[in-house]
Each structure stands twice: as C-alpha cells, then as structure tokens.
A and B are shown apart, each in its own frame.
Chain A
C-alpha cells in the first residue's frame, strides 16, 4: 500500500512529464479567449482532453460547462476540482481577441490547464486505485460577472436562469452529488506570495438601472424636459452620502458605471442607464447596503421628478473557505514552494461564484502566483507558467490525494464536519427571491 507521499511523488512525476503539454494547453486557451457562456472552443478542448484521459465527459452543462468523473476503488465523498473556462473583455490586453476584445486578464486559462494536469496525474497514474470516493473534474463557465445585458438576454430566452456559471451548474444539479470542492486561482499580488490561503471574499448583487426622464430641446425648451442624467448623478451622489454608514468590517463595495448617458448633447437626456454591483462580506451587510442603494436610486429620480427602473439580479454569495481543507492545501503549498513563500490573506473585496458553492459544502479557493500586472487590466499576464500551471496542478493533485487516500478519512471528516449554510433547494429559493424588478415614479 503506497503512502500519501508515494502517491504525491507519482502524481508529480506525471505532471512533470506532461509539463510542456500542459503549458501549451494554457497558452492555446490564452490565444482563444472567450467570455462567459460563449466558451465554445475552450469547452471543446477540455472535452477532448477529458476523453483522451479515458473519461466520459458530459458537455453543454450550463451552456458550455464540461464535467468528467473518475471513481476511486471504494466508496467515499465526491471531490470536485474546478477550472473556470471564461475570459474577461479587455480590449487593450496584449492577448485580446481582435474581434471580440475578449482576453484572459484574470488567468483562467491556467486554471483549465492545472485542472487537466491534476486530472492527468490522478487518473493516468494508478493513483486513483488508492483513492476512495470520486473526483469530478469540472470546467465551469462564466465566473466573471460581465456582459450583464447579454446574459440577461440568455435568461429571458430560457437558456440560463442565473448569470454566473456555478450557480447555474448548481441549479442544474451538477453539485447534487458533490461533497467537497476546490479550485486554484492565479494572483499577481506580491503579498499573496507564490501560493496563498485566504479566508473570505465579498459576495455581490448586480443591478441594472434605468432612469426615465423627458426629452426636450436643451437650448430651446429645457423647462419642458426632465433630465434623467441629473437623476443618475443625484443617485450617485446619494450613494456617496451613504458611504459613511458602511462598516469597515463589511467591506461594502458599490461601484456603478453609466452605460448610457444621453443620446445627443443638444437634448435633455431622457434615458440613462446604469449598472452597479453591491458587494459585501456577509449577506446581511449586502442586503443592508442594497436597501440603501435602492433608496438612493429612488432619491435620484425624485430629485428631478424622473422615473427609475431598478432590476436586482442575484450575484455571488460571500466566499467562506473550509479551514481543514485550507490547512491541507497550505501544507502541500509549503512543500511545493517553501513555507516562507506561502501567504495568507483574510478577506478579499472581489467576488467569485465559488462563494455560492461555499454555502453548500466545504470549499477552498486558494491562490497561486506566476502573474504580474493588475487583475482585470491590460497588464495582467502570466509570466511563470511553471508556477501558475505546473506547481498549481501538483498542489491540486496533492490536496486531492490527502483528502481521498486512506479511505478518504480526511475528506470524510471534513465533509461531515461542516454544516452547510443552506441546502441546494434553500439556496435556489434564496437566489430566486433576490431577483426583483421595481419601477419607482416620483
């Protein structure tokens, strides 16, 4: 019976032997960036790789998701290892698609490669013969919460219900048989070192807002107009007037953009549109800030006598990571990059739909370095694929071995030791209740 160390050594050998191939996969995806729910080429590549490993992938989950399972030799928990398929849209990114402006400015291409690396190491190596339970390799769509109008169109067409890939996969039952989930995200933040454990992330709601005024000649008859742009400006001012009531520990982030600010400079703007997120560390804090934002939006409309339509769209839940899994990952990271190169951050202000999964089961969402530049910006590029893909794949494989070897004793204890915040049906109800549309006439 090989020890966990033996199994990890075996996994590392396989990954090292496939290092060039895995890096090439990451770079192929980098060259073919596709934003969420449009990841057709990327999904096809993943399905082919899964098939090549002898698994039976299921494709087209939540539009573009792909899942392939590999079972151990005895009963045990199912561990999902996730990789995110989607890119961002950053037109001035050096690797942007010239037609769509899509670009991997958040390193998701490395996630797919490291997930495939872990799959190779665990399934094509004999390692699986010494693991209990099952591993579900999942390429998930649409983690980046962008192109809200496009996704809302998919929603209205009945192609999706939720606008993020993981919530949609949950809705479709793809997490019904999963007990533990993990993924590994790249980072460019030097404070997060070579690998990094974190604790929590903000959750978020998304809002689409339309201020409706009355158009009029801005020179000849401004007194007949109702200025929807002024309503939007006032609404943003009102939001700012509420900021002092946001608690530091709640990490509230409200950051609107105006997607339509008027049609012609010579007319009083009558149709002004805005999108915003309302992020926070806890659901309670998000809902409190959201009520203040709604009130501020109504105040903007009231200020000038306009009308406002507010659509609230469920976003992502706050992420809370399982400490036991994080500790296992930390130990493996220390072995791979040295203890002094493993960082820790308690809370991050950004959001991920891994947060949603974290309300249903134990998860981890640690970070691996290798990137430089600012996340979501034109400068975010992967410089060290050896770290971001190869060591990342090893960290995932090692952690899977720790969880599922020894008859999955650690995996079972973690899966049994954390009480889920919500059942899947409670989660779906919560998300559906969150969705709302309101028209306020002043």
Chain B
C-alpha cells in the first residue's frame, strides 16, 4: 500500500496535531524532569526517563554516551539522506534556594533544560506521526545530551583524573567520542525569560570561554597565637580577585568580556590561617583569541596573589566553549517556521553580533556543522537564579516542540532537499580533528610559588 504524498504544509499540520493531542503528556515529561533535577554527568534519573520514553516510542537508541547521554535513531521512510539531531540538554544547575531544588543536592532547573527534554521528546512524538515519518528522508536523531552547564569543576576534574571524561561539557565530550560524526545538522531550542512580547527568538551569538580551577596553598597556623608563622591562602585569593577587578578597565566593550568566579573553599576553621583556598573561575569573551589573551592576564593575577603573600598557586585551565555561530540558512528556516506558527511580531531575529554574554557548548558544535540554538518564551526571572521559573509551558515546551518538528520536516521532506542545501551551503569553521586539537591545547596546569 502506498500512502498518498502529502504536501510539506500538510506534514507539518499533522505533526503539530499529534503534539497538540499529546500536550499533557509532553508537558508532564518536562515537569517530571523539573521535579528530579540533576547536575551534569549525574543525570541518571533523567536519562532513565528519556530511555523509557524512547522504548515506549519504539526508538532504537544508545545510552551512557559521555556517561549519561542518549542518542536515538529514527530512519525516515523515504530513503536515505542527511541526519538531523534534535537536541535536549539533560542537566540542571545547582541553585540551593530555587523553589524546585533537590533538598539533598541543591540541584535545580534554573535554566529551563527540563523544557528542552520535553520539547525534544515532543518534537520526536510529532515527527513519529506515521504519515509524517514515512515521507521524510534521511534520519532524525533525538539526542539527550549531558552537562551543558559548566559547573562543579572540581568534581569533573576528578572524573577526568579517573578517565571518565576528557572535556567537561557534554557536547564537547560527545564530539570527542565521535557521537556527532554521523550527524549533519543540529538543532535545539532554549527557554528564555527576557523575551518581552516575543515568543521565539534567534540569531546573535554567545561567548567563548575557558574555565579555571585554582588552588592556593599557604601555611596553616593558629590565627591568634601564631599568625606570623602562617601564609594566608585566603589573602592570596582575595588579592587575585582584586587584581582581576583592576584589569576591567582594559576590556573592550565589543569583546563582551566576562570574568567571574566563585570560591569553593575559603578556609577550614576561623581560628586557623587558611592554607587551602580554591576557586572556580571563568573567562568569557566574543572570540577565542580574546579569551586566550584574558586567560593569560587572569593567570597573571592569580600568580600575583600568590606572590603578594608568598603562597603557592596551582592553576588548571580547562577548555571551555566556543562562541555560537548560527547557520544562516538553517536560521532562516527557523524564522519562517516561527513566523508561520506565532506570527511576525512575536518572532525576533537578533543581529549576528548581538552577544548574550553566556556560553553554550552548542557553540562548539556550531563550529563543526550547521547548527541553530534559538530561544523560546515562557520563563520568568534571571537565568541561573532562584527566580528562574517556567510559567508558561505552552510557550516553553509545546510551541518549540512544534517549531522543531516543522523545521525537521522542512529539512527532510521532499527528498531532504533543504537539508542537503543547508549542508552544501555550510562551511565548517573547524574539522573535528582540528576542534579536538584546539581544545586540548587550551588544557594546561601551571604552578607558581610566590615564596620562591
């Protein structure tokens, strides 16, 4: 029996109808993830939930990729063609005060990734509509990826030492493991709380970055009776932070420099001169070149801190993310689809140079293949804070699920004509080998003894 051939518009309509029909189930999945927040490389419950759903949907998949990642494969019924990944990020942040924080771990979805899992599964459900999938060529790859948030640096370094991972972002690690070797185009959609009247936004760029784990070693001593025998590692770190602040006037506005960090250990007991103080730091900027320049300046500040009081410092520099480069053709497909669904006034296209300041490992992927990382409304409150909440699941999950399903249909219907065009038009900024080499060159451990 041959199915009558449907137009692309008709295919989109069918997929959206399925999503609309199973809306409760799809939002329920997102909310289930919200209730079980897990930080990067620890997303076992979330991965199980995705795995169960893949099973239920009859999707052939692999699990345990880069520890917790899951990659499904759905072959289109209309023959071979490019492979399009629909990505959802598994991980939460750690924001102890968030209303949905896990009381034990402090993990909380303060960046809306739970909606990404909902919309990834939602889009997949829509695309699995029999008369839709049968008319697509190529392959749909629903991909649940770990650890987009670059946090818990010390713990991840430990995992690196144990050989469990090399890079500390989920997509970076998946690239290294070859899990994107058979993917041609990658899309995802992130929630946003700064959308105003808009429902869907795209374009702009994000910062590249490197991550630092800094350990100051001083000399412990009784802070009351023998402070002269101690070397205060907290003072070394405080000096370094002030030195970093003294550099800020040298940052160019165009470079969107963001240098920020936290102290993960600031001393053991108030009665002792702190001898072990640890920092996690981040150096972000618009271009990898400026990231490297500022990374060196920040290292100098960390060394100056050690020199100031005669402490030792060990600086581990960890390769971070690359700036996001949206594929313009792919972005245009997103734009037209969004306009169809939510209308022109609710769709925003940001200028290419507009840098939101944050960083994502989707930027890394965007250096290797056509990729798009648009934003969906539905959230309120500053991202990464306790106030970041999804108040409108229709906008945050259902609408982007529909848009991503429609974009995949645009790409893979009609013999995957558009996907092939996007692929042909795209010039990758790096090969996978060049990427892995570049990132490995960023990795560095330096030591400096301020007393020597």
Which residue of chain B has its CB nearest to the CB of A221? B252
- Flag if B243 contacts A234 (CB, 8 Å): yes
Q: Mark B18-43, 1 if CB is under 8 A from A, else 0.
A: 00000000000000000000000000
Q: For B303, what are the chain A residues with a Cβ–Cβ distance below 8 Å?
A: 302
Interface 9-residue window, one of B77-85, B224-232, B391-399, B404-412: B224-232
Which residue of chain A has its CB nearest to the CB of B246? A230
Which residue of chain A has its CB nearest to the CB of B229? A245
- Kindly state the separation between the CA atoms of A299 and B307 in the bound complex, as whole angstroms: 5
Interface 9-residue window, one of B119-127, B234-242, B319-327: B234-242
**Residue from the set A237, A295, A299, A305 with the largest chain B CB neighbour count within 10 Å:** A299
A238 in contact (CB, < 8 A): yes
- Flag if A234 contacts B450 (CB, 8 Å): no
B107 in contact (CB, < 8 A): no
Per a CB cutoff under 8 Å, which of A222, A292, A296 touches B250?
A: A222
- Flag if A238 contacts B246 (CB, 8 Å): no
B429 in contact (CB, < 8 A): no
Known: A227-B246, A241-B236, A302-B307. 8 other contacts (CB 8 A): A222-B250, A223-B250, A234-B308, A237-B239, A244-B223, A246-B228, A299-B304, A304-B243
Q: For A242, what are the chain B residues with a Cβ–Cβ distance below 8 Å?
A: 235, 308-309
**Chain B facing A: main interface SS:** helix
- Flag if B307 contacts A295 (CB, 8 Å): yes
CB distance from A287 to the nearest CB of B (A): 14
A225 in contact (CB, < 8 A): yes
- Flag if B300 contacts A227 (CB, 8 Å): no
CB distance from A163 to the nearest CB of B (A): 29
A247 in contact (CB, < 8 A): yes
Per a CB cutoff under 8 Å, which of B297, B300, B309 touches A241?
A: B309
Q: Mark B298-312, 1 if CB is under 8 A from A, else 0.
A: 001101110111100
Per a CB cutoff under 8 Å, which of B227, B232, B247, B305 touches A299?
A: B305
Q: For B308, what are the chain A residues with a Cβ–Cβ distance below 8 Å?
A: 234, 237-238, 241-242, 295-296, 299
Residues of B within 8 A of A (CB): 223, 227-228, 230-232, 235-236, 238-239, 242-243, 246-247, 249-252, 273, 297, 300-301, 303-305, 307-310, 450
A303 in contact (CB, < 8 A): yes
A233 in contact (CB, < 8 A): yes
Q: List 12 A-B contacts (CB under 8 A).
A: A218-B249, A223-B250, A225-B250, A227-B249, A237-B242, A238-B307, A241-B239, A244-B232, A245-B228, A245-B231, A295-B309, A304-B243
Known: A241-B239, A442-B300. A295 touches B310 (CB 8 A): yes
Tell me the A220-262 residues at the B interface (CB within 8 Å): 222-223, 225, 227, 230, 233-234, 237-238, 241-242, 244-247
A166 in contact (CB, < 8 A): no
Known: A222-B250, A442-B300. A298 touches B307 (CB 8 A): yes
CB distance from B218 to the nearest CB of A (A): 11
- Flag if B300 contacts A222 (CB, 8 Å): no
Q: For A292, what are the chain B residues with a Cβ–Cβ distance below 8 Å?
A: 310
**Residue from the set B231, B249, B301, B303 with the largest chain A CB neighbour count within 10 Å:** B249
CB distance from A2 to the nearest CB of B (A): 55
Which residue of chain A has its CB nearest to the CB of B448? A302
- Kindly state the separation between the CA atoms of A5 and B406 in the bound complex, as whole angstroms: 117
Known: A245-B230, A292-B310, A299-B304. A304 touches B235 (CB 8 A): no
The 8 A-B pairs at the shortest CB distance, nearest first, are namely A303-B243, A238-B308, A299-B308, A302-B304, A241-B235, A299-B307, A303-B304, A230-B246
- Kindly state the separation between the CA atoms of A282 and B452 in the bound complex, as whole angstroms: 24
- Flag if B232 contacts A241 (CB, 8 Å): yes
Known: A222-B250, A238-B308, A242-B309. A303 touches B228 (CB 8 A): no
CB distance from B241 to the nearest CB of A (A): 11
Per a CB cutoff under 8 Å, which of B230, B242, B300 touches A305?
A: B300
Q: For B251, what are the chain A residues with a Cβ–Cβ distance below 8 Å?
A: 223
